[in-house]
Structure 1
Amino acid sequence: MPAQTGPRVLGLDFGTTNSVVALGVGGGEPHLINFAAPGGSSVDVFRSALCFWQDEAVSGGQSVEAGPWAIAEYLAFPQDSRFIQSFKSVAASTNFEHASIFERRFRFEELGRIFLDRLRRHAGDALGTRPDRVIVGRPVVYAGASPNPRLARQRYDLMFGGFGSEIHYVHEPLGAAFTYAARLDGAATVLVADFGGGTSDFSVVRVGEPGTARRCTPLGQAGIGIAGDRFDYRIVDHLVLPLLGKGGTYRSFGKMLDIPANYFSDFGNWSRLALMRNRRTMAELAQLEHAATDRAAISRFISVIENELGFPLYDAVARLKRTLSTDTAARFSFSGGGLAIDEPVSRTDFEAWIAPDLAEIDATITRALDSAGTTAAAIDRVFLTGGSSLIPAVRQLFDGRFGADRIAAGDELTSIANGLALIGAQPDVGAWAVGDDA
């Protein structure tokens, strides 16, 4: 068999919750990079998480791990660790300057380079030499209030700059479209809906006949910073935050005031929760505890942060969502830091909590169709991807608009990376790339 010639292409889906890497060589079919996870298992989905701990034996006095290894390190020594997840969600935030970890400050791009370095190490020989092209997925619209795409691009350039000889950025749902196109045996107009951790993105793509030189042509798109992490917040807001003082008051100079909402919004955001364990915030919370009407609630708030319970809380929320995706009822159970919750939750409850978010997602689908100059009736197929696409209420949104017979799903966590690698093998790869102001 002759050796394949052509570029070594890496499709990199750097996600809010998980990251996936696909490698294609010489125009051949891409394959997913596997990582030998702790415990002897092998995974092709790498958790987008970091765990720092103090280590006098290394330069700088800090050690760090990423992915499944970050989780393992945290579980072994939770109180001596700083566990960070969902940090992609601050990429476009002008309010985020740095994360303070054990008194050391890290900018977004520094966290990103550390993450990529550990990902590369754990891939071992599977990644081989430096790829010729790296195709990085990026959301249509970044997460956060008033996201700044130019700032995100600057940070991405600094993060990914040394990862390959060429770096190109492509909208994530377009990557998924390339993967889905391989399933089709004819031409079709496809709506790709990608539900990640931080954003929900929609692209309308015209897929040509098999063998067409340019098989996928994007027609329009739209996105919104609402996805899995927002759904998580709704659960935390209803079941956890009332026990931590939300809605309570404190006394200041003889007046009764509402406890500032920013503490609770930070607590319910996975990218910011771990960063609350800093000297300034903890001092503020200590003062608030003394002045609060319900001191025990603020004490629990402080204890959850001090004991680094962000990951087990996230895990409890994720378990509830998964169970409610298959069952009509479940129990939310969490215990730690003086906080004990064991509450029944119905799927109807959860769907009511996320109803405002689903309405905004529905409006974003309409914007995507409008940007393509088309209507729901003209869409031949809808391809759902991303973990939150498994939530029944999300699926029902599309069934109602397009009809269940037009809906397809699958490869929820890997379709984007595979499609990005396929795009990287195209001779006109630059035509798919996104500019720094988009």
Structure 2
Amino acid sequence: MNTKPLPQDQLSCGLDFGTSNSVISITDLNTRREVFTASLQSILYFPEAEPDACYVGRQAEEKYVTEAMKGRLLKSVKTLLKQDKFLFTWINGKKVTPDQMATHIIRALKEQAEAYLGHPIRKVTLGRPAVFSEKEQEEKTAVARLLTAAHNAGFEEVHLQLEPIAAALSYEQHLQHEETVLVADFGGGTSDFSIVSLAPQKAQQADRSRDILAHGGLYIGGDLFDSEIMWHKVTPLLGRGVEYQSYGKKIEVPNSLYRELRNWERSFLLKDSKDRRMMDKYYVFSDNSPLIDNVRVLIDNNYVYSLFKEIERSKIALSADDCSHLRFVKPRLELETDLPYGDYRQMTSLHIDAISNYLEQMLAHSGFSPRQIDAVYMTGGSSLSRPIIDLMSRLFGAGSLRSGDTFHSVAHGLSLSRA
């Protein structure tokens, strides 16, 4: 506990509301040093047994598991902000809007920082991706919902800053000379890029808009990589590709249910769906295929989230190993498969190619060549992925790649951006 809190006018607050993780940072304006930081997973749990309760972060995950997945677990809330057609969802008999979901996460971080400081925090610089959506209306909807969430969490004054710009300001604190830097922020839902002119003598300047030479992004992140592993490696263990008998013909089980399984946050809808009921028919007419039984057990017992956690673990292991092993064991269910790096690279190749093409076009449009980029500052959890590292090494040279605090650099830079 902080026994000698700094006055409010000496502090600056930055908050990085992320797809997978969210972070708050408090910086001392005099020293430009971070004095407090806290992070949590961007997940929410609304338990059936407590209709008015909402748990956030690790506590949400733990409660969801210990209460046998009875309730609604929500992940990747940030991706819902841009969905202008998605107005609300019913949870425990109440309408819950996307901005209300975001408020829970932002408020939880705010309260942690306030408990440490001993006084309320009224101002915040809030991060936003370079591109929420390429559609103008979705972009406006996302920004409006993000601002609403921050105000409803208790912040009186909210400033928005691009997340890759914030990462650049964090990186600049360690520079000894001027550099033209490509900041690459690879998150769970987006990949954001900025070309920025940085120098140690510029660190105290309040307005850095002229130093932003180019910025942009696309909606590709680590969650898509998890989805590819689920589709290519796991769904065949759940019956995708199995044939069943129908009027004397062999027909392959439809893929509609398996496509839905690529996005675990929607999987709770499958339990009472027509696709799930049809699986009972396919099970009987496939001579009781154990693979089809696997998917029935998975959905009926709400194991999909736990399975994705294992998928994520096996993906992360490939950052250091040439092959990882995915093993998921529950009552009446055992899934096991190897995940060689070569397979992983192949199944993510379309997404990697899309990032490569975007970067090449961004450089060409802004008048830069890869040789004119002095350093590539990589941040975000997906920056540790080997296909990402391989791509950036190929485009800019391995010697130009830099990394800092993968998860906290954006929040620290956000607090610096108002210093």
Shared fold per TM-score greater than 0.5: yes
1:200 aligns with 2:203: no
Contact 1:90 / 1:143 at 8 angstroms: preserved in 2?
no
| 1:70 alignment partner, SS class | helix
RMSD of aligned alpha carbons? 3.1
Residue 272 of structure 1 is matched in structure 2 by 266
Residue 431 of structure 1 is matched in structure 2 by none
CA drift of 1:262 comes to 4.6
1:69 aligns with 2:72: no
1:18-417 superposed matches below 5 A: 18-31=21-34, 33-34=36-37, 44-55=38-49, 61-123=51-113, 125-126=115-116, 128-142=118-132, 148-162=138-152, 163-211=154-202, 213=205, 214=207, 217-247=211-241, 261-273=255-267, 275-276=268-269, 279=272, 281=273, 283-290=274-281, 294=286, 296=289, 297-336=291-330, 338-417=332-411
Q: Distance in 1 between matches of 2:104 and 2:8?
A: 32
* Cα 1:336/1:89, change in 2 over 3 Å: farther
> CA deviation digits over 1:189-241, x for unaligned, max 9?
10000110001111111113424635671111221111100110111111221
Contact 2:314 / 2:324 at 8 angstroms: preserved in 1?
yes
1:10 aligns with 2:6: no
AA aligned opposite 1:191: L
Q: Which moved more, 1:349-358 or 1:208-217?
A: 208-217
Unaligned runs of at least 5 residues, structure 1 = 35-43, 426-438
CA drift of 1:75 comes to 2.4
AA aligned opposite 1:380: D
CA drift of 1:7 comes to 6.1
* TM-score, normalised with respect to structure 1: 0.83
Q: Distance in 1 between matches of 2:325 and 2:20?
A: 23
Unaligned runs of at least 5 residues, structure 2 = none
Q: Distance in 1 between matches of 2:164 and 2:94?
A: 36
* Cα 1:185/1:53, change in 2 over 3 Å: same
CA drift of 1:398 comes to 1.4
1:426-437 superposed matches below 5 A: none
* Cα 1:127/1:85, change in 2 over 3 Å: farther
Contact 2:14 / 2:414 at 8 angstroms: preserved in 1?
yes
Contact 2:103 / 2:150 at 8 angstroms: preserved in 1?
yes
CA drift of 1:134 comes to 1.2
* Cα 1:69/1:384, change in 2 over 3 Å: same
Q: Distance in 2 between matches of 1:3 and 1:344?
A: 52
> CA deviation digits over 1:139-178, x for unaligned, max 9?
1223799981111122212211233121122111111000
Contact 1:203 / 1:222 at 8 angstroms: preserved in 2?
yes
AA aligned opposite 1:139: P
Q: Which moved more, 1:217-226 or 1:290-299?
A: 290-299
**Count of residues in correspondence between the two structures:** 409
Q: Distance in 1 between matches of 2:127 and 2:367?
A: 25
Q: Distance in 1 between matches of 2:299 and 2:5?
A: 58
Q: Distance in 2 between matches of 1:143 and 1:332?
A: 33
| 1:232 alignment partner, SS class | helix
Contact 1:54 / 1:63 at 8 angstroms: preserved in 2?
no
* TM-score, normalised with respect to structure 2: 0.87
Contact 1:141 / 1:223 at 8 angstroms: preserved in 2?
yes
CA drift of 1:135 comes to 1.2
Contact 1:143 / 1:199 at 8 angstroms: preserved in 2?
no
- Percent identity between matched residues is 29
CA drift of 1:110 comes to 1.7
Q: Distance in 2 between matches of 1:201 and 1:211?
A: 23
Contact 2:47 / 2:53 at 8 angstroms: preserved in 1?
yes
* Cα 1:144/1:336, change in 2 over 3 Å: farther
CA drift of 1:184 comes to 0.9
